[in-house]
């Protein structure tokens, strides 16, 4: 990321600050950009995020540190709802401007006080979220930036997302499994958020850190992208990529970006493909506690192509077969297109959005939930053995299932013997 400095007005040290601003580009910044080649975006407008931010900065509320300390009961551990390398997130309650009216529940991110990198990401979030506006992007309400006797304080205030992150609902067994249709709607919303960043603004924005933990869910499980600390302006007219230091999360970063440092919107598309497979399988992109051949998600799913008969084996077992197998195959094919080795061959996010809409429509119009592979095998085997006795076969199967359940509670050798005799007799 390019260098930031704390605030434009250096004379106002140790005071509450106005809206944070980016440093003017230096000659070194431009020489870095000059290593980039042809672009398809931002050809008609030279304005970047800093210029756009100046127009909208007044929409953000500037909080005092004491306001946010009171809102979180002095950053009580009981109100902590998240933690990461950046710092901690607390649930809080803020009063309206002027103090009249009902308080609003919010999420307050308090950055660690040490390190320039945290400050850079804080400024990036304020500026990017101060410009963007979309139903599938988390709303930034305001911020607090103070250089005081206790050191640097950097805080961000967001709308509160009641259902936390997609990551928690996919991988934390403490949460109920996400239903198939809910998963599809989450994918669509997240894709629409990325498409807006790539193609819906005056300036192109590359998110650079798309992953399941950065997809937050509101009370209706509507997804919103969060954490814009690593976001970056896309290439300007005449360029195809931005050359930058490689940052992001292992397992989600595109290999071409890792190898070359060339950042494009197709880097986000790769990351989206990884999350598509996480949604399908219920597995993280990297899981060290699994057998070696299953630790890397993308390597594992290669053995179960969308066209293969074994494809169903990779689907999240927590779905309990309540999903559309044809829709799942289409999702996997879409993921594979997002994960193509050549970045230029990957679809644009607007194309991904249209594909997801079509998949959801086809699924709603008549795709029945997938019948379990095991029960299909059983049905075909039974029908081949007893083709003229379908009713008797079904009656016998039901009776045996009932007896098996009773057998689980049978105690004593005599009871077990009686159960085995009945099982051999195949009571009709």
3-state class of 277 per DSSP?
A: helix
The bridge status of strand 87-94 relative to strand 104-111 is antiparallel
**DSSP-derived secondary structure for 349-385:** HHHHHHHHHHHHHHHHTTPPPPPPHHHHHHHHHHHHH
Q: Which two tokens stand for residue 244?
A: 């930058």
First to last CA, the chain: 73
Taking the C-alpha atoms of residue 229 and residue 410, their distance in angstroms, rounded to an integer, is 60
Give 253-262 contacts, CB < 8 A, sequence gap 24+: 254/343, 255/341, 256/341, 256/342, 256/343, 262/36
Taking the C-alpha atoms of residue 229 and residue 214, their distance in angstroms, rounded to an integer, is 11
Q: Give the active site residue among 209, 227, 256, 268.
A: 209
Contact 200, 206 (CB under 8 A): no
Taking the C-alpha atoms of residue 79 and residue 142, their distance in angstroms, rounded to an integer, is 19
**Please, where are the H alpha helices in 200-296?**
255-260, 265-281
Taking the C-alpha atoms of residue 369 and residue 16, their distance in angstroms, rounded to an integer, is 57
286 DSSP β-pair partners: 296
The bridge status of strand 140-148 relative to strand 61-62 is parallel
Taking the C-alpha atoms of residue 210 and residue 88, their distance in angstroms, rounded to an integer, is 20
209 is catalytic: yes
- Count helices and strands (H / E) in the chain: 14, 12
Q: Which two tokens stand for residue 309?
A: 């008969």
Any idea which residue has 């998963």 for tokens? 183
Contact 86, 92 (CB under 8 A): no
By annotation, the residues acting in catalysis are: 209
């Amino acid at each position: 990321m390019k260098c930031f400095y704390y605030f434009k007005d250096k004379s106002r040290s140790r005071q509450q600050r106005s809206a944070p601003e980016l440093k003017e580009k230096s000659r070194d910044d431009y020489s870095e950009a000059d290593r980039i080649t042809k672009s398809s975006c931002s050809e008609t407008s030279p304005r970047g995020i800093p210029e756009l931010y100046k127009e909208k900065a007044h929409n953000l509320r500037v909080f005092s540190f004491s306001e946010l300390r009171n809102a979180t009961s002095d950053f009580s551990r009981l109100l902590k709802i998240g933690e990461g390398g950046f710092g901690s997130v607390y649930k809080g309650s803020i009063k309206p401007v002027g103090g009249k009216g009902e308080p609003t529940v919010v999420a307050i991110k308090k950055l660690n006080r040490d390190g320039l990198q945290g400050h850079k990401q804080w400024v990036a979030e304020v500026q990017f979220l101060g410009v963007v506006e979309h139903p599938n992007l988390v709303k930034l309400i305001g911020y607090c930036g103070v250089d005081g006797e206790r050191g640097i304080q950097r805080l961000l205030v967001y709308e509160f997302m009641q259902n936390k992150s997609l990551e928690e609902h996919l991988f934390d067994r403490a949460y109920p499994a996400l239903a198939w249709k809910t998963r599809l709607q989450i994918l669509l919303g997240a894709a629409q958020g990325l498409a807006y960043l790539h193609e819906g603004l005056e300036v192109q924005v590359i998110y650079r850190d798309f992953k399941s933990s950065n997809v937050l869910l509101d009370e209706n499980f509507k997804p919103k992208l969060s954490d814009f600390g690593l976001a970056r302006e896309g290439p300007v007219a005449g360029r195809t990529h931005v050359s930058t230091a490689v940052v992001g999360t292992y397992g989600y970063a595109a290999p071409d970006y890792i190898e070359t440092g060339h950042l494009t919107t197709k880097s986000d598309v790769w990351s989206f493909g990884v999350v598509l497979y996480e949604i399908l399988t219920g597995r993280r992109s990297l899981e060290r506690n699994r057998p070696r051949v299953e630790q890397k998600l993308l390597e594992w799913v290669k053995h179960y192509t969308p066209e293969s008969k074994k494809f169903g084996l990779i689907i999240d077992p927590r779905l309990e077969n309540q999903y559309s197998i044809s829709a799942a195959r289409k999702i996997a094919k879409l993921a594979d297109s997002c994960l193509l080795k050549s970045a230029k061959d990957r679809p644009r996010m607007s194309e991904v959005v249209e594909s997801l809409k079509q998949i959801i429509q086809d699924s709603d119009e008549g795709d029945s939930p997938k019948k379990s592979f095991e029960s299909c095998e059983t049905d075909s085997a039974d029908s081949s053995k007893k083709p003229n006795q379908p009713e008797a076969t079904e009656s016998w199967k039901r009776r045996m299932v009932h007896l098996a359940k009773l057998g689980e509670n049978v105690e004593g050798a005599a009871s077990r013997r009686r159960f085995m005799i009945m099982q051999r007799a195949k009571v009709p």
